[in-house]
Chain A
Amino acid sequence: MKPLLTIIASLLFSILFYGKYIGLNLSIFTIVTIAFLFLYNPEKFKNKRILLHTLAYILTAIVVFVQHSSLSIIANIVAFFTLVGTVSNNKTSIYVNWLNGVYTSIAGFFHRTFEVDFQTEKADWKKDFDLIHLAKLIGIPLAFIIIFVLLYKNGNPMFNDLVNLIDFDFINFQWILFSILGYFLFSNISRPLSVEPATSIDLRTKNELIKSDTFSEEKLKKEKQLGTVLLGLLNLLILLYIITDITYLATNDITNASALSYQVHNGINTLIASIIIAIVIILYFFRGNLNFYSENKNLKNLTYLWIGLNIMLIVLIAIKNLNYITSFGLTYKRIGVNVYILLTLIGLITTFLKVLNIKNMAFLFRRNTQIAFAVLLISSSINWDRSITKFNLNQADAFDIDYLIKLSDRNAILLHEKENGIDISIENKNRIDTKYNAYMDRLNLREWQEFSYDNFVGKRNSKTYE
């Protein structure tokens, strides 16, 4: 029954993806994959964590259908690896899930070949031999017959005519190879694997720091002194920087685009360097026994202050970026700055929690990768092109219509709806119409596997327009 399931899934794989662009097919593939994993591993689907990742995977499939963006496709693929990895072992960190998921998906078949061999050697050697023998029995004569038929064809016109009567055009060999690829993929994920020793090391590693036996007070005292001096001076420096920055913001009315751009990008560079160095310094001092040293209170307070001031720096950059966006509209780069601000803020908060609760590096990696995964899922669910267009046309003081027209097709419908309500040249209106019509044509040319939500909305709009 189970091999039949794999064959059916592989045929579906070919029907969905062979010669097609991504669209509804990836969403259906998601459902097929979940059903397939469930049928092969029904017991594992009772686990809450696996159910949560299944839900996340289904949501990304819906997002792929609705948004049809590269980011949503990436999120769906990452969610696929996460789910496969979680089925492999539901107690490991998310990055180990990715490792297990990727390994299972690309090499599960090969891994099982040698694992089975070493575990149950005698029985499977025979089975393996039989299979190879069968393959030889069919493959080798077939290969040679084809070769000789092709050679004899040129030697005898009558034989050539006879061979030419055989027409294999109804068979699409590429489609068959593609189905084999599908079979390989589904066979790989049927029984998810664990990469060792990475999985067992991760399972053994807890989130808490453990006090080591070699606890030299003298050494810790020196380290604490160094940390206190360093963090104290760094706090003074960042405080000075923040004061001058606030003064500059309060006393200068910056409305010039290039000045604002310079401020934001320069600020971001400062922020990148500052936050990375801050986290590295904190991680260095709180890597071990200094966490348990009784006189570490001053150092801890300086660290909290340093984190707090860095957060203040983030807020200042966010204000500058917000001013920039309000005046000159949203762009991908400006959204990128906001995402970066959010991620650094999260990084600082998790570092703060690490120091406060005496956690180890594994805790930081686990939390930050989980949050990065969540951010990827959430950000993939937004139609950024549409949001940028909507914000720039409705709320920004000024907008760059050329930038909006050059964005992907995902804002074509909105731009077309809004073109009569905005003050733009006839040339740009024509460009918007051309973009919209080209998009409608592409939507109409799509096959059912490539459908997205726009296929339904677009058709409705196109009818209204007519």
Chain B
Amino acid sequence: MNIRDNLAKSCLLATAIYWAVIGAKSIDPDVVPFVFLSMIPIFFCTSIVILLTICPFFWAAKDQSITKVQVIKRCFPYYTIASFGLCFLGIISSDFSTYMVAFFSSAYITTCQSWIWFAKDKPK
């Protein structure tokens, strides 16, 4: 598992989605430095979520000699349903505020894509 690459790609993807959703409403040039600065908290958030909620499935499977495909087929559907439910709940609770929509949609898409990257990850 190439966790380092996965975290880097996930951070970039989450930043792109987050600012794309916010930028779709209005683009302010003064915000540009914040796009780069925002990568620091986004990196922490994505790292914590991926390391705590996705990686353990693969680490546990390694001990029981279950293949990556089996892990994804067994766990990904339930993970994605739970994650979608939580993100959707977050969006509704925030009364569809743009920042929250951006945050939760980027969280959902990034976690799903992170699973895919782990699935495609080839041992070196």
Contacts and interface: CB of A to CB of B under 8 A. Distances in A.
Contacts of B73: 196
Nearest to A180: B20
A315 B24 CA distance: 59
Interface string B83-124: 010000000000000000000000000001101100110000
A150 B80 contact: no
Nearest to A139: B16
B4 interface: no
Interface in A86-137: 99, 102-103, 106-107, 110-111, 113-114, 117-118
Instruction: Determine chain A's interface SS by DSSP, over half rule.
Output: helix
A117 B120 CA distance: 8
Contacts of B120: 114, 117
A164 B83 CA distance: 42
Interface stretch (A170-178, A223-231, A281-289, A318-326): A170-178
12 contacts: A103-B80, A107-B80, A113-B116, A114-B120, A118-B69, A151-B32, A154-B29, A173-B23, A174-B25, A176-B24, A177-B24, A195-B77
Contacts, number: 59
Given A113-B116, A177-B20, A195-B78, 8 more contacts: A99-B81, A103-B81, A110-B80, A110-B112, A111-B76, A114-B72, A114-B116, A150-B27
Contact of B119 (A102, A117, A154, A176): A117
Contact of B112 (A99, A107, A173): A107
A110 B115 contact: yes
A424 interface: no
B29 A110 contact: no
A157 interface: no
B32 A150 contact: yes
The 6 A-B residue pairs whose C-beta atoms are closest, nearest first, are A173-B24, A150-B29, A114-B119, A107-B80, A195-B77, A110-B112
Contacts of B69: 114, 118
A153 interface: yes
Contacts of A177: 20-21, 24
B90 to A, nearest CB: 15
A197 interface: yes
Contacts of B74: 196-197
Contacts of B77: 99, 103, 107, 111, 195, 198
Interface of A: 99, 102-103, 106-107, 110-111, 113-114, 117-118, 143, 147, 150-151, 153-154, 173-174, 176-177, 195-198
Contacts of B76: 107, 110-111
A446 to B, nearest CB: 20
Interface residues of B, number: 26
Interface of B: 16, 20-21, 23-25, 27, 29, 32, 35, 69, 72-74, 76-78, 80-81, 84, 112-113, 115-116, 119-120
A106 B80 contact: yes
A242 B74 CA distance: 50
Contacts of B21: 177
Contact of B84 (A106, A113, A117, A174): A106
B114 to A, nearest CB: 10
A109 to B, nearest CB: 9
Contacts of A103: 77, 80-81
A194 to B, nearest CB: 9
Contacts of A153: 29
A107 B113 CA distance: 10
A110 B119 CA distance: 11
A71 B76 CA distance: 30
B110 to A, nearest CB: 11
Contacts of B27: 150
Contacts of B32: 147, 150-151
Nearest to B23: A173
A106 B24 contact: no
A102 B83 CA distance: 12
Nearest to B20: A177
Nearest to B33: A151
Nearest to B35: A147
Nearest to B24: A173
Most chain A beta-carbon contacts within 10 A, residue among B24, B35, B78, B113: B24
A123 B5 CA distance: 24
A107 B81 CA distance: 8
Contacts of A176: 24
A62 to B, nearest CB: 26
Contacts of A117: 119-120
A107 B27 CA distance: 30
Contacts of B112: 107, 110
Nearest to B67: A118
A118 B68 CA distance: 10
Nearest to B105: A181
A153 B20 CA distance: 21
A114 B25 CA distance: 33
Nearest to B21: A177
Contacts of A173: 23-25
Contacts of B72: 114
A110 B113 contact: yes
A457 B120 CA distance: 57
A307 to B, nearest CB: 35
Contacts of B78: 195
